[in-house]
Amino acid sequence: MHIDIITVVPELLESPLSHSIMKRAQDRGLLTVQTHNLRQWALNKYGQVDDYQFGGGAGMVMMCEPLASAIEHLQKEKTYDEVIYLTPDGERFNQSIANQFSLMENLLVICGHYKGIDERIRQYFVTKEISIGDYVLSGGELAASVVVDAIGRLLPGVLNNETSALTDSFQDNLLAPPVYTRPAEFRGWKVPEILLSGNPNLIENWRFEQSLERTKTRRPDLLAD
């Protein structure tokens, strides 16, 4: 899978995408991510990409021309399955959307800043608008890191244990069960006996019960879906 990201702050995306599982995905050639500084397509030598909003009001708006130029430049090289705009008023991102995106070949991601981007870019270029939760970030870059990470770890061959993404929280609308490692007793606090039993069926049942219980108490909304 290939992901292009248009941003005015490419530096913000460097570290989150260069370590751990995202590094492994790219080292294995399963994922390529390329950031593109919007200022390359700026209107003038001052690197202008934003302007005051029509009708007045505080905050700048990212202009049509640089964004349209950037998008059309990238579209000459690739056919995108989705042109994603990251914005707090988009559809709330979740595991199901991550699963859908992970099946795609090429994605183009646009990070907004300031008051957002000119509405016409949303109307005529963007195919999906995504928010990562009900709070406002200073820009779309951290949200882009979140979305790319959630997608990248789902690509076949990225996680070492192929089943490991399947047992994540949310994969079946259930939260993950509690996990323990050595020692079996720490300061008198014991690991649940069943996990030491060596009986795979008992363990699987216990984990399912725990998942269900956790989901009931913490996220009953997931069970209602």
- Which residues form the interface with ligand 6GU (CB under 6 A)? 86-88, 112, 130-133, 135-137, 139-140, 143
Q: How many CA atoms lie within 13 A of 73 on its CB side?
A: 14
- Closest approach of Cβ 62 to ligand 6GU, in Å? 12
> Count of CB atoms within 10 A of residue 79's CB?
7
**Would you say how long the chain is, in residues?**
225
- Closest approach of Cβ 134 to ligand 6GU, in Å? 7
> Count of CB atoms within 10 A of residue 108's CB?
24
Instruction: Produce one character per residue of 114-133: b if its CB has 16 or more CB atoms within 10 Å, e if not.
Output: bebbbeebbeebbebbbbbe
Nearer to ligand 6GU, 49 or 159 (CB): 49
- Closest approach of Cβ 130 to ligand 6GU, in Å? 6
DSSP 191: P
Q: How many CA atoms lie within 13 A of 151 on its CB side?
A: 27
Nearer to ligand 6GU, 144 or 175 (CB): 144
- Closest approach of Cβ 223 to ligand 6GU, in Å? 25
- Only one residue has tokens 């183009």, namely 108
Nearer to ligand 6GU, 116 or 177 (CB): 116
Nearer to ligand 6GU, 16 or 176 (CB): 16
- Only one residue has tokens 């646009």, namely 110
- Closest approach of Cβ 208 to ligand 6GU, in Å? 32
Do residues 153 and 1 lie in contact, with contact meaning Cβ atoms separated by under 8 Å? Answer: no
- Closest approach of Cβ 180 to ligand 6GU, in Å? 34
Question: Can you tell me the distance from the alpha carbon of 100 to that of 117, in angstroms, rounded to the nearest whole number?
Answer: 25
Nearer to ligand 6GU, 33 or 174 (CB): 33
Nearer to ligand 6GU, 81 or 129 (CB): 129
